[in-house]
């Protein structure tokens, strides 16, 4: 289990796959540039980090609805 921290998001995840593509090499054939793809599975359920993230998303969504409603009324 890992904690994926991305900006204000904090999610517990399982790392499901790693893909590395080397794109540039030194003359000695050592790679010095690569593209990496990581895949995660979010761990839901009775997990405090996941619950905090759900609350944060709900509050953010509610805050976004208020300006929309105010614009619709005007």
pLDDT tens for each residue of 19-66? 999 999 999 999 999 999 999 998 876 777 777 888 888 888 888 766
What's the mean pLDDT in 1-16? Answer: 85
Measure the CA–CA gap between 65 and 56, rounded to whole angstroms: 14
pLDDT: is 6 or 23 the higher one?
23
The pLDDT confidence band at residue 67, using thresholds 50, 70 and 90, is low
pTM above 0.95, yes or no: no
Measure the CA–CA gap between 55 and 59, rounded to whole angstroms: 6
For residue 73, pLDDT over 70 is answered with: no
Domain with 21 in it: 2-73
Domain tally, the chain = 1
């Amino acid at each position: 289990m890992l904690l994926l921290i991305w900006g204000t998001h904090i999610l517990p995840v399982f790392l499901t796959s790693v893909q590395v593509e080397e794109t540039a090499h030194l003359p000695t054939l050592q790679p010095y540039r690569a593209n990496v793809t990581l895949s995660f599975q979010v761990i839901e359920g009775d997990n405090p980090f996941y619950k905090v993230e759900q609350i944060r998303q709900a509050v953010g969504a509610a805050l976004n609805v208020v300006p929309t409603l105010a614009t619709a009324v005007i």
